[in-house]
Structures are given as C-alpha cells and as structure tokens.
Amino acid sequence: MEASSMRGRLCVRVTSLLMVLVVAGCGGSVGHEVSEDAVAIPGVAATPPMGWNSWNTFGCGVTEQIVRAQADALVSSGLAAAGYRYVVVDDCWQAPSRDPSGRLVAAPDRFPSGMDALGDYLHARGLRFGIYTGAGARTCAQLNGTYPGDTGSREHETVDAQTFAAWGVDYVKDDWCSSDADPSAQRSAFVAMRDAIRATGRPMVLAINPNSGITATDGVPGAVHDWGGVATTTRLTNDIESVWRSGQDASGYQGIADIADAARDADVTVGAGRWLDLDMLEIGVGDSLTAAEQRSHLALWAMAASPLIAGNDLTRMSTTTRDLLASTGIVAIDQDPAGAMARAVTSDGWTRARRLADGSVAVSVTNPGDQTETIPVDRSVVGADGTTIDVWTGREVAAAGQSITVTVAPHDTAVLRISRTV
C-alpha cells in the first residue's frame, strides 16, 4: 500500500477508536493523496461529482422531453453555475432488447431522437451526460419485474462502453442488481466495466452501486469494502428513502440519519477520483422531510465529501429548495480540493469535522433528537482556535479563542468554519 494511503487509513482508525479528530494530527492529506494507480478512471472527478438524476422523481417514466426540460431548468435556475452539471438518465431509458449487433438502443417511444442526440443537447448547454446500466444480466427495474428485458452489461462491458463513448457519455452509473453479494463476483463485474471504459479513451466517471438487491446479514458491500481504484464513486448503503430514519436493517431502504450513521463508521480512503457516495439527494422530493432534515441532508453529505446529485423535479422546485441546493458555503465544503472526509469528534458521533485546503476546519453539529439542544464545540478537539463563522448565514459566531456553543433545532445541523491559528 502506498505510504499516503496507509497514512489516511491509520488516521481513520485512530478517529474511530479515540474519538479525536484526525485533522489536527494528519492535516488535509488524509484520504486525498492517492496514487494514479489507485484511481479507477484517470482524469475525472477531482472533486465529488454534482448534478441531477432522473430516478427519484420520474423512475421508469423518464423521457427525453423530461430530461431536456430538467437540463434547461438546471441552467436557468443557476444550479448548473453552482456546480450541478451531470445530468444522469437512470434505469428504463433502454429498449428491452439489444439491436442485432448486440448494442444497447434507446426506448424508441420515450427517446425517439436517440441517446447521442440527447448527449449533444446536454453538451450544448455546458452540461455533462450520465447514463445508467446494470452490472448483471438485468438492470434493477428488470430484476424487480417492473420493466421488461435483460439488457444489463454483464459480458457486454466492452461493447457498452464503446456505445457510451460514441454517444458522448461522461458518467456511467453501474448498478449491481443481484441477490448475490459475493465480493469477488462484484469486483469482476465492476472491473470489467472499468477496464472497458479505460479502453475507450473517453474519461467517464464510473459510479457503482454494489448494494442493489442484496440481502447480506453482515452489512451491505458498499459499507464493508473499499472500492477505490475500481470505481470513481461508490455507494455506501442501500437505496435512500425520503425519511429521517427508515426503521429498516442494512439491506433495506435507508433514511438520512441511517446513512449518516454509516458514513461515520466508514473506513475508506477518499480523494480525487475516488469518492464515497451517500446516494442521491431527496431535497425537494415530496414533503416527508422537514426543512431542518433537508438542511442536515445537504450538510452531512457535504461534510462526507459525497457526490451531490439532486433528484427533485427542477421545473417545479420552490425557491427554498433551489436556494438550499445552491448554498454557497456548504457546496464549497463538499467541493473543497483537500478532499478529506469528515470524522466524528464526539462520542455520540454527531459532531464531525474535516480539514479544508486553506487550513480551516469545517465542523457540523447535528441534533438527532426531538428537542432543541445547545451544544458546545471543543476547539482543542477540532484543532482550530480562530474566528468561527456560521456557514449557513455567513455570520461570525465566535471571535478567535472564544468558546463556541450552537443552538440546534431537532434534526437540524449547524455548520461552522473555524480558521486555524494554532
């Protein structure tokens, strides 16, 4: 193992054992200095990908008209300028059968212009084109019986990667979709797609989900294996649900707090070209999440250096949703070039911190309970004694050296940025 990668993993383990923030002793290099041979697809995702995905709102009803309208809204709303540039067409875009030459084709009734034309449309607007495939013989919708056919990429990786490259694809979501959670089988499938993408010469993000359909009792693969070097982004848990807690075990749907719990314990190296994906954003999707929970959703994802992939209907979103997604200070933490993942600094795991590239420390303080709490932040633990700014408002919370306390509503998250003077 490369020295810098080993250093990152050692720092993670110290954090989980001692509950002492590693940024003070390890600096911004934790999880960031990864060698080129530890990156799945060179030249992509120097910071976590940001964009929009069709699944959470449109599912198998996605059409090219919908995608084009969402792309236009991404631009007109200012979210593209804020960094949300990947437009990912999820499952059910494809016809149920391949063409006579074995190539994937778009469903003609819903994508009559074809996927290459859709890619051109997105690129003309300064956006990037993402597409979905299954790592097995069938996609997830096909496996679940909600969409016909068996057009997964298993044993078709080479031709599918070539097809995607010809269409101008910039991002490939590769979904496991199987009840078999054998890590060696998963690795074989994902490596085959990785190598096929590399062979095309086109730098496409490879975003894998090793969790779909599995019923493992010892935790989902994304949480117990480090897939860095196999994929650009790796899903941590099973699918997200638009709730604070789902009440399901690790093989079921996961709420915001459930995924945040899993991220706290994740023992992986992240950095440029290899990110841990906490799943798509549920901000503005339905009305089951409170405003506080949506704020925590974005904040905790950003602190984890997770991809930020919106899933709401961009053509109908409220100004509140738009402003939250575009939160300048929170997005800046997610996109910070140091590429470090936040670690817990308190025994309950709900105060987390990460060293940023300028030497400051980002601190999130989440209140998982049902009553408003006033919570102290220990400067000696986070290793920063400078001025403290509330990232949500831009206001000063404490001058250098002053004690820090924050009042946090139920299920909300305060986010601080503390300059370092020590």
So which residues are the catalytic ones? Answer: 175, 239
Measured CA to CA, the distance from residue 311 to residue 264 in angstroms comes to 24
The answer to whether residues 420 and 360 touch, using CB atoms and an 8 Å cutoff, is: yes
What amino acid is encoded at 338 in this protein?
A
Strands 50-53 vs 205-209: parallel, antiparallel or unpaired: unpaired
Please report, to the nearest 10 degrees, the dihedral formed by the alpha carbons of residues 406, 411, 417, 418 taken in order: 40
b/e string for 233-253 if b means 16 or more Cβ within 10 A? bbbbbbbbbbbbebeeebbee
The answer to whether residues 354 and 303 touch, using CB atoms and an 8 Å cutoff, is: yes
Measured CA to CA, the distance from residue 368 to residue 1 in angstroms comes to 37
Measured CA to CA, the distance from residue 293 to residue 366 in angstroms comes to 10
Burial class (CB in 10 A: 0-12, 13-18, 19+), 372: exposed
Measured CA to CA, the distance from residue 60 to residue 207 in angstroms comes to 20
Nearest of 170, 245, 249, 175 to residue 210 by alpha carbon: 175
Give the dihedral sign, CA 55/207/6/223.
positive
b/e string for 279-296 if b means 16 or more Cβ within 10 A? bbbbbbbeeebeebbbbb
Give all strands (DSSP E) within 136-278, no chain letters.
171-175, 205-209, 233-235, 275-277
What are the residues facing 417 on neighbouring strands?
362, 389
- By three-state DSSP, how is residue 87 classified? strand
Q: What's the token pair of residue 263? A: 């991220």
3-state helix, strand, coil in the chain (%, to 5): 30, 20, 50
Inter-axis angle of helices 256-265 and 291-303, nearest 10:
20
